Each structure stands twice: as structure tokens, then as C-alpha cells.
Amino acid sequence: MNDAVRSMRAMRASNSDPASLTSESVPVPDPGPGELLVQVRATAITADELTWPQSWPVIPCHDVSGVVAATGPDADGWQPGDEVYGLVGFDRPGAAAEYVTAPAADLAPKPASVDHLAAAAVPLGALTAWQALHEHAQLAPGQHVLVHGGAGGVGAYVTQLAAQHGARVTATASARDRDFVTGLGADEVLDYTGRFEDHVRDVDVVVDPVGGTTTGRSWAVLRSGGILVDIAEEPDEAKGGRDDVRSVFFVVRPDGGQLRELAGLVDKGQLRPVVSTVFELSALAEAFGAQRGSRPPGKVIINVSG
């Protein structure tokens, strides 16, 4: 990175309303020990992320794909020019900026077979799916998985990774996304406006990015010993009156090792990044306002540079 470049363009929100996002000139962050400074090429939004911060202002967007601009002390194995992607921790400034810092351990080489826009669609959604299926549910081949919101930013990766692991996959989605979700590997796609609980049973794993009444209706479809993995909200401890099933709620964490595994699946054609719509960084507020019903399934991507 040119030493003369000490300021950068960043989008900052002063409250949870996307209309509060403004383009500002802020100092380029310095990478600390074990950290990388990444020149951001693309990032992505998560629909409700402006409701997360505890203090303001914030730079949002935590998916990143870009190029290493500088390395901090002890960030061994990386050098300027390396293409990387990853999930920036939620306790850090996000990637809706020209540069972002992150621990090197949280990043991985970008999948070589896709561009930065596609790579930025992967980290948060695919890491959430990976951790839900493999860490929390300990999915085994041949098990039956029900994923809610199978066309969503997380559900699309749950569908793919579960199918890729040899599970039988049932997904809920809108009628217009049926073919899309089937193409991701779902064996059956149910219209989310109907009563999925009338059509599926003996499920080993439910992955629920939706929450609300969807969670409450999911207990009945689990087989004895099954698990509900909730990533939207803490599930009801009553478990629908059942004491023979389990539940877990978790928040995704950055993990460079898992990102390397995911990049390998992308490069082998076994995992497809799902890009919905692309906005420029200056249109970030508009991107947050993009209505799900009027755009294709997948992640809303922000083109930052290059």
C-alpha cells in the first residue's frame, strides 16, 4: 500500500436506519499483530445487521473479498497482493470501506475459480451453514435435513452443503424459487406459505434461519433424538412439549480453516456462490432497502473497487 494513502472512503451508519448511511473520509486502519490490511473489492449485506450494533457510528458489512495491502507483525504466510476472503468479526469495523483489517487466522485464500463479487457472497452464509451442520448437528450422510428459507443467504448454503454431504434435504421456499432450490440439491421443496409440518416428518436436523412461528412449528417434525439448530433466535426451552429432542442457538464465528475447506468446494464445483443483486458502495442504503420479493435469491453484494 502506498504510504501516502492515509485516508479512505467508508460508509458509516449513525443509527439502525439505512438512510443514516453516509460516505465519509476516515483514516485507513493499521493492521495489528497477526492482522492483515485488506483492500476491499467486494462485500455483502445481511438484512438485519444494522440492528446489531451497541454503539454508533458503525461501518457495516462483514463479508469481504479483496487483496492484501499490508501485513501486521507476526502475520506470517501472507504478503501484499494475495487475494483473500473471509468474515470480519462482528466486534470490528466492517468492510463497507476501501480497506478493512482482520486477523489473518480469520481469512483464507479467495476461491480461485470465481471473482471477488461471487467470493463475497460466501463467508457469512456458508460458514453459518458449515457450523450448523458439522459442528452443532454433526450431520451424518443419509440423515434427513429440513432447512427453512432454502433460497436465503444462509439457507442456500445449508441446502448445498447438506446435499453435498450425502443428506436427504427438504427445504421451504417461495413457489417462485422452487426450481432454484431444487438446483442447489434439495430433494423436496415445500411452499413456505403452507404447512410444512403436514408434509415432512422424521427429520434428523432442522436448520432454522427464520425464527418466530416457524421455529415453534418445527418441533413436531423432528424424530426422537433429532436437533433443531436455530440461527435466528433462542428457541423456546419448552421444545414444543417434547423432551426427546435437542436444540441449539449459535452466532457464526470467523474461521479461516473452514473458509479454506469452503473455497476448495467452490473450486471443485461442489458449492455455488449465490449472488442476488450487485450495488455500488455509494448505493449501500438502497441495497439495504432492496426488497426480497423483487430480486433474485441469494446475497446482496456491494462492489467496492476493482
* DSSP element (H, E) containing 163: helix 155-164
The answer to whether 92 and 55 have CB atoms below 8 angstroms apart is: no
| 291-305: burial string, b at 16+ Cβ within 10 Å, e else | eeeeeebbbbbbbbe
The answer to whether 36 and 101 have CB atoms below 8 angstroms apart is: yes
Tell me, what's the pLDDT at 212?
A: 93
Amino acid sitting at position 259? L
Amino acid sitting at position 83? E
> pTM value?
0.96
Tell me, what's the pLDDT at 237?
A: 87
Is the N-terminal amide bond of 109 cis, ω within 30° of 0? no
Please report, in angstroms and rounded to a whole number, the separation of the first and last CA atoms in the chain.
15
CA distance linking residue 34 with residue 50, whole number of Å? 28
pLDDT per position as a tens digit, 56-96: 999 999 999 999 999 999 999 999 999 999 999 999 999 99
For residue 247, the number of C-alpha atoms closer than 13 Å in the C-beta half-sphere is 23
CA distance linking residue 21 with residue 19, whole number of Å? 5
pLDDT per position as a tens digit, 153-168: 999 999 999 999 999 9
Residue with cell 471443485: 268
Nearest CA to 52 out of 273, 252, 195, 283 is that of 252
The answer to whether 302 and 156 have CB atoms below 8 angstroms apart is: no
CA distance linking residue 218 with residue 87, whole number of Å? 29
Nearest CA to 117 out of 280, 301, 305 is that of 301
Nearest CA to 61 out of 47, 77, 72, 76 is that of 47
Tell me, what's the pLDDT at 5?
A: 64
Task: Look at residue 3 and tell me whether its pLDDT is greater than 60.
Answer: no
pLDDT per position as a tens digit, 243-284: 999 999 999 999 999 999 999 999 999 999 999 999 999 999
pLDDT per position as a tens digit, 225-254: 999 999 999 998 899 999 999 999 999 999
